Structure 1
Amino acid sequence: MPASAVAARCTAQLLSGAPAATAEEAVRRVLAVQGQDPRGFRLAVRARTSGGTAAEVEAALTGSRSLVVSWLNRGTLHLVEAADFWWLHDLTTPQLAKDSVRRLGQEGVPPPLAERGVAVVHDEVSEHGPRTRDELRVALEGAGVPTTGQALVHVLLAATLQHRLIRGPVRDGEHCMVLAEDWLGAAPPPLPREEALATLARRYLAGHGPATDRDLAMWAKLPLRDVRAGLAAIADETVDLGDGLLDLAERAPAEPLPTRLLGNFDPILHGWVSRDPVLGAHEGNVVVGGIFRSWAFDAGRAVALWRIAGGRVRIAPFARLPRRTEQALLADAEAVVAYLGLPAKEPVLEAV
């Protein structure tokens, strides 16, 4: 893929060009930010905004209730704007039910116990409001529902699919499960499927274009025929760039490629079938056993890993970097520490 396409995607993702002013604006552009790692999705917001802090994400989750986390696309936790939760849930989760039953069985939770577990979770959040995972675990174990291994996670997923649970408020640093209607208010009227597919196609391209129909099908875990129907519905809004790549016709020119520290599970690695245009030969360094590590990005390519150890950012380049790149990454490391509200410590660039 040409560097111009990577540059266009970075601009679409708000990694380059004018950043978002708020966490909500950044999440709205990407539509759904992979959200299984709390620090990871906060760092995804940081990379796409200017002048904010992680505390603003906390406030959006717990105060204004403008952001929520729930199982959506691909059965994976995602951070979304509250207004987008409803139609994304209705569109992307029904097809997850069969896999949910299978996984529950693999975790030692047969259908009768799964039904009991879903009922227990629903009753707990209905009667008591937001509940932590530990609180729900205690209630499930008291009802004889297995919670060991991944059983708890899959019971909570099943309850989410049936009753539209979300991880909204944060209590003592931990997300709580709550019914979406209790936390966000009454659900809006559902979008007709054709309208929802068109909305998905438009919003996906806004934050991920240029991309192919197969990229969108993978990202949303929807049948290719549905994705193509959505793209066809907005055909007058898109442009064909060749090789199957589509983008919105009304797209600002791509901005220069960024030099940034990106968190684990950053959205730039999750919106397309192939990560090769960004990770190349370093995919095995960044993605290990399904875990996406924190990494550094320069000129459209991955150039380093990084971590926070002892409150200090430590950057480990894959190869010797130009001095300009080193300085830019060290400056961004200081911004990461400030964003997370950690005590300021000078970052370290480790030897190659």
Structure 2
Amino acid sequence: MHDHESLRRLRAHAQALAGTAREASAEAVVRRVFAIQAQDATAADLGIRVRGRDITAQAIRTAYEDERSIVRNWYMRGTLHTIPSDDARWVLRLLSPRILAATSRRYQQLGLNDDLRQRADHLIRRDLAAHGPLTRAELTEYLTTLGISPDGQAPFHLIRHAALTGILCHGPQRAGEATYVLLDDWLPSTGRFRWEGDDALAELARRYLAAHAPAALEDFAAWSGLSITWARRAWRMLANPA
């Protein structure tokens, strides 16, 4: 058994926040911890820098925008995270159906029915292809042509819906402001998912434990947004690999 202080030390070491464990690049940091909370882009950058050795703000921008080795988008719990780019598609495919289902009531409240969401996806894809990268304000202006009010939460939910359906992701910053790009243009597909189905579920749990252990399945469920049932399934697969 671990006491609270030893747990804290072990997790801090796993997160490259203790001892001499520091990574040499932004990509290496993100690979080590798998997901950096990125609701606030500045805080995400600080979260990367504190885990590295002399990683500059420019080096982080280079990883995002030139190397494209890390990407910011809506993943765990439907919130913004930065993860390794080559993990973007399988994580999205695993988590997005659950996030979309959990958001269905909010879509109804905002009057965003299936047809309107599909039309918005089509419009966003078309306008990013023609004019991207685009800021949230610029995408919102295009969405008004569908009768969407620029005020309130509807534009945000339609933009996030396009992200969750694999259309867009965050691209380069413009004057310090986030822009969106077509996922397939920004991160060309290798043609297959690295993990699918139960393999993806087990891999997500494996990545979580590598960066957060010691941890319980309830911790994994809270982090990922998966139900306890699915978290337990992942735990069983790790304990009894095929």
Q: Same fold (TM over 0.5)?
A: yes
SS in structure 2 at match of 1:65 = coil
Distance 1:143 1:56 in 2: 39
Change in 2 beyond 3 A, CA 1:19/1:174: same
Distance 1:73 1:201 in 2: 12
Instruction: Provide the residue aligned with 1:135 in structure 2.
Output: 138
Instruction: Provide the residue aligned with 1:213 in structure 2.
Output: 217
Change in 2 beyond 3 A, CA 1:110/1:157: same
SS in structure 2 at match of 1:166 = strand
User: Where do 5+ consecutive residues of structure 1 fail to align?
Assistant: 238-352
Alpha-carbon shift at residue 108 of structure 1 (Å):
4.3
User: Where do 5+ consecutive residues of structure 2 fail to align?
Assistant: none
Larger radius of gyration: 1
SS in structure 2 at match of 1:80 = strand
Cα pair 2:121 2:167 within 8 Å, conserved = no
Instruction: Provide the residue aligned with 2:232 in structure 1.
Output: 228
Matched, 1:154 2:157: yes
Runs of 4+ in 1 over 4 A off after TM superposition: none
SS in structure 2 at match of 1:170 = coil
> % of aligned pairs identical?
37
Distance 2:178 2:84 in 1: 16
Aligned equivalent of 1:74, options 49, 73, 77:
77
Distance 1:6 1:188 in 2: 40
Change in 2 beyond 3 A, CA 1:104/1:187: farther
Alpha-carbon shift at residue 15 of structure 1 (Å):
0.4
Instruction: Provide the residue aligned with 1:198 in structure 2.
Output: 202
Larger RCO, structures 1/2 (Cα 8 Å, 6+ apart): 2
Distance 2:108 2:60 in 1: 36
Alpha-carbon shift at residue 101 of structure 1 (Å):
3.0
Cα pair 1:65 1:168 within 8 Å, conserved = no
Cα pair 1:61 1:170 within 8 Å, conserved = no
Aligned equivalent of 1:165, options 144, 165, 168:
168
Query: Partner amino acid for 1:143?
Result: L
SS in structure 2 at match of 1:173 = coil
Pairing 1:224-303 to 2, within 5 Å after superposition = 224-235=228-239
Matched, 1:50 2:33: no
Query: Partner amino acid for 1:218?
Result: A
Alpha-carbon shift at residue 187 of structure 1 (Å):
4.4
Instruction: Considering fraction of residues, name the structure with more strand.
Output: 1
Alpha-carbon shift at residue 176 of structure 1 (Å):
1.4
Cα pair 2:96 2:165 within 8 Å, conserved = no
Cα pair 1:12 1:207 within 8 Å, conserved = yes
Query: Partner amino acid for 2:226?
Result: L
Distance 2:230 2:190 in 1: 24
SS in structure 1 at match of 2:67 = coil
Distance 1:127 1:182 in 2: 12
SS in structure 1 at match of 2:235 = helix
Cα pair 1:13 1:29 within 8 Å, conserved = yes
Alignment length (residue pairs): 237
| 1:246-278 deviations in Å (ceiling 9; x for gaps) | xxxxxxxxxxxxxxxxxxxxxxxxxxxxxxxxx
Distance 1:185 1:166 in 2: 12
Aligned-pair RMSD on alpha carbons? 1.8
Distance 2:183 2:98 in 1: 20
Aligned equivalent of 1:14, options 13, 16, 33:
16
Change in 2 beyond 3 A, CA 1:187/1:158: farther
Matched, 1:176 2:179: yes
Cα pair 1:113 1:145 within 8 Å, conserved = no
Cα pair 1:65 1:82 within 8 Å, conserved = yes
Pairing 1:328-339 to 2, within 5 Å after superposition = none
Taking structure 2 as the reference length, the TM-score comes to: 0.91
Distance 1:155 1:126 in 2: 17
Alpha-carbon shift at residue 144 of structure 1 (Å):
1.6
Taking structure 1 as the reference length, the TM-score comes to: 0.64
Cα pair 1:86 1:188 within 8 Å, conserved = no
